[in-house]
Amino acid sequence: MAAPGTSVTSSAISGIGDDGQDLGTWFVAGITELGPTTVSTGRPIYSLSDFVAQYGARVPYGTLYDAVDAFFRVGGAQLRVARVVGPAATFSSLTLNDRAGSPLPTLTVKPKGPGSYGSRITVQVLAGSVSGTYVLVIYLDGAPVEQSPDLSSPTAAVEWSQNTSMWVTITDAGSTSTAPSNLPALASATALSGGSDDRASITDAEWSAALARFGQAFGPGLVSMPGRTTSGAHVQAVNHAAAFNRQALLDGPADATQLTLSGLAATDRANATFDEYGATFAPWLKVPGVATGTTRVVPPSSVAAGIISRQVKTGLANVPAAGANGVATWVIDVAQQAFTDIERGLLNDSGVNIFRRVTANGDVSLYGYRSLDGTPAWRMLSNQLLRLKLTDEAGAIGEQFVFDQLDGRGHTIAAFNAALAAMLQLHWSAGELFGETAEEAFRVDTGPGVNTPESLAAGVLRATLSLRMSPFAEFVEIQIVKYPITDSLVN
């Protein structure tokens, strides 16, 4: 049995003889100072200051602050965060008593996420502007960060925390006092207590659970766990990406040799079922430090995510964010000795994309654009990203036809075909599909061989999209031929 809806699958056929949602969204899992552990609670992040407001400042035990900073510095559009905590993480809390003569608990206040940071939060209860109401003021480190409107019941506080508050979650403690005595008593700012993020106990299971919070409803995009460089971590990210129509951007180990990086890529390729949904980047990159005159090192996935996000938000997913389009002007240099030309060739063959300083202009640029797929099918990362976009756009079109009447004269089928063809026509016009004419570039089949009487009777509307994706010039060859001045160059 299956629920009503739309499913989109894709595949590649070897050559003869052999705007949905924003693809530029970066989904990142990492350890942070504070913040929610449910992605639906955390809002989209559009700047480093947004990140700090929700997840805290730079910490010595995590790379996410620096990775987010790098993402936005090189042009990234937006990101979502899944905060990682240990299996025994607990919440700080504060119980507010009611106004009865013998006070009873009426509200329980907790931070949005677990961890000891909750003890930095204080809650003040003030009288509202209208009789019989109260106001909650939330402080962080002694500074007010949010204030509720006038609240007239315990339930009103619960609803405010669920719908508006960025800092606290409030539950009804069940006071049995008669209203309005069940309202929280007026109180000066009082701190929450307890809480632990249990960082020392984090395992692969917690990282996997964090990725799982990025559900299907968030749409396509790029996904990373910045700084995680083991094959086990890479396979986690790639499997997630394949399941949710995303692209995993993976970090090679810092200061790794060509042999180490190529070996890791081979292991990833062997262990990931759909290896085209992963792409590996190296080396780590030197960028300006937080303090003037200093430097720091960031994982390459963060810069790759930023420049890919910058490129796809132009609307052209099939144009590589590499070479001239992959310049990261904020980056100072690579953080290890540069690879030789021979090493770069071997890394490219193994599916590792290298950042390098390009001699022509001195800028650091991404100089490789391959997925982990070792076959020609989805080896070009640009084609893989276009695949994600087409899958999302086709799915959105399909949703428009769910529950439409399948008439006997084929009106619905024709409209379905036309909508899909119009979508592909736009991609062909942009040069993303290969062909001198649209007919050479793509075909939409909704005919009787696809929509059989039996499938229509079962309530299934189908389409097969056949298309040719434009490649990119990975190697440019120029031949110079010298002719004697006595010979003519005119044919």
Model confidence pLDDT, tens digit, residues 412-443:
999 999 999 999 999 999 999 999 999 999 99
- Cα 156 from Cα 184, distance rounded (Å): 12
Q: What's the rounded mean pLDDT across residues 325-351?
A: 95
DSSP for 392-441 reads HHHHHHHHTTTT----TT-HHHHHHHHHHHHHHHHHHHTT-B--SSHHHH
Chain-wide mean pLDDT for the chain? Answer: 93
Q: For 466, phi and psi rounded to 5 degrees? A: -110, 130
In 33-118, alpha helices (H) = 48-55, 64-73
CATH number at 94-191: 2.60.40.4290
Answer whether residue 205 shows pLDDT above 80: yes
pLDDT in tens, 441-489: 999 999 999 999 999 999 999 999 999 999 999 999 999 999 999 998 8
The answer to whether the pTM exceeds 0.85 is yes
Reported as a pLDDT band with limits 50, 70 and 90, residue 46 is: very high
pLDDT in tens, 207-263: 999 999 999 989 999 999 999 999 999 999 999 999 999 999 999 999 999 999 999
Helix, strand or coil, per DSSP, at residue 177: coil
Does residue 358 contact residue 325 with C-beta atoms inside 8 Å? no
Strand order in the sheet with 333-334: 295-298, 285-288, 333-334
Strand order in the sheet with 94-97: 94-97, 105-111, 168-172
Does residue 90 contact residue 147 with C-beta atoms inside 8 Å? no
Does residue 10 contact residue 387 with C-beta atoms inside 8 Å? yes
pLDDT in tens, 146-186: 999 999 999 999 999 999 998 999 999 999 999 999 999 99
Reported as a pLDDT band with limits 50, 70 and 90, residue 320 is: very high
Return the pLDDT at 38. 84
Return the pLDDT at 374. 87
Reported as a pLDDT band with limits 50, 70 and 90, residue 19 is: very low
**Which strand (E) or helix (H) includes residue 136?**
strand 134-140
Return the pLDDT at 22. 78
pLDDT in tens, 477-487: 999 999 999 99
- Cα 44 from Cα 383, distance rounded (Å): 27
- Cα 475 from Cα 472, distance rounded (Å): 9
Return the pLDDT at 18. 36
Q: Does domain 25-85+201-382 fall into CATH 3.40.50.11780?
A: yes
Return the pLDDT at 39. 74
Does residue 224 contact residue 27 with C-beta atoms inside 8 Å? yes
CA 404 vs. chain centroid, Å, equals 33
Reported as a pLDDT band with limits 50, 70 and 90, residue 43 is: confident
Taking alpha carbons only, the member of 206, 204, 200 closest to residue 234 is 204
Give me the percent of the chain exceeding a pLDDT of 70. 95
- Cα 178 from Cα 193, distance rounded (Å): 29
- Cα 207 from Cα 211, distance rounded (Å): 6
**Which strand (E) or helix (H) includes residue 238?**
helix 231-243
pLDDT in tens, 50-80: 999 999 999 999 999 999 999 999 999 999 9
Reported as a pLDDT band with limits 50, 70 and 90, residue 1 is: very low
- Cα 36 from Cα 319, distance rounded (Å): 36
Looking only at Cα atoms, what is the longest distance across the chain?
113
Q: Domain map of the chain by residue range? A: 25-85+201-382, 94-191, 409-491
- Cα 86 from Cα 206, distance rounded (Å): 7
